[in-house]
A and B are shown apart, each in its own frame.
Chain A
């Protein structure tokens, strides 16, 4: 990857008091995103509004498309046009994006998609908080594939992870999702934007070799081929059809397997590099709470209360939810009595935790139907249950 200096034009260095949505926009600008296509939907709209306000001053472009389908389609064109691109949405809009998320995966198009989650199904409880799209982000488009999904727990982390999301997306040529929620999106806190020179920005590898040798794809099952941009004379072709490394349609079972092995392998083979967690108190823990996003801040209260009550409880916060750090969870499971998974849905990530744990310890789901965060007491009860 090419490490490049952050363009200082997009970096509003200093201490700010802002909400998670605004911080996402600032993070994207700091990462060098200059093309944003979006459609309004609460509680994500502020990201688009901030970008729209800032872009004329930083040489960027915001376009409000006619719907979310058009927004993500425009990102695909924008990325092949050479830009770092982003869109933002919430529940219903996320559903509308699904088909072209598949196209982005299939054509290995880098882009960042923020989902400020709200409560569903359908229009649901507009627009109260939830973490209900955690499986949709993984499986929502047809076919088998892998994506990367990050989950910030604070406005500061919205800023930080926006940069991280672009870096990952440029490295792996895959859509990267920032799965935040209404609570973090609308929560105001201190956000420190560092000076431009302290921000690490990665840029996709650009192909510069002979035109006749150019291949838009390289099915290595690991890092993807370098990209070119439209207009550079390489005359690339890209399609949602199963394709060979030249990008040409190739309707065979063998090519399809090679392609899928690559799309899946480039993520699965790099889980250790991609995945990040924040751990505390794991050393002596008999119970571990695995959570992500806003729920981990509620869990922190329950964990502190548990410790006060003499329970050895630790925490693992998934900063990267997908791909899941399966080996680390297995390690923990072999040492503790139980794992508690609170999340603002009826039990989604917990299904994967259960699969990974495979009976090594108890796994207790702490679901919430959405619209509010958990009562810490409920999580504490689960911790007490797990330690029995």
Chain B
């Protein structure tokens, strides 16, 4: 099984007057795992279903390697797909579910049985093969769905929220397993998720979507360190980045009558100032007042009111100021983020 390069060129999808996906250009390297991340209705699942061949694109091209596929029936595209509900066939045993894609290809029964057993062993569900989907656990159903997607050795693996129906504990374990398996097999994979920790943990690169448009396509750490706009800045990272809307003057960010000193490289005029809670401190020089202090376990999360805005600050465990206490906000200058009035990132 070898992965293949997947390219989307000018891909768009309209449902009547509703624009589900505006225009998308994306290049997924062979063997790479890419996550489509975004809130519901952002166009990520629509894109996945166009790659699978369930939806016809309104415009644009899809390439698997050098082959143009957007006009092909799903069965001629050589993709495997795992659905959120797993979509196992309830009237068939797990064995027959996994074997289904192979029997459609008219592969000899002995060969089918051999390949089903092989993939079932790999995923640790060999003992469930003669049961029906309703008789096995959620985690086993999820792995059976994965086995069904992988048994035909597809060139592209599509995963639509494959973990969101699992318990929190199994989910962390399952995402590690899927990632390990994907790297072992080397199949090009696209994962659709609304859960940023899933996307960041599993993918080589993450494509962040919002309102039918690609916001940023980058490796997880870059997404975190250099968000391309205020949407990504707010969406990726927990607790979310502090974003203040105000006016830049030389050397300072002005928020009502507050002046926050900023390092060079900032834009001029109206814009946004961003810094993450872990890059903020209570030992700076912007006056404020504590409103809430929550214990998160390893750290405490302090909410601070400065002027018209609220800001979150992560502080070490020992420190938990009472609400109403005055505090002085500061931030690490080297980790500041500048955005212009339209929300686009400015500078490095």
Answer whether A and B are interacting partners.
no
> Which residues of B are at the interface with A, using a C-beta cutoff of 8 A?
none
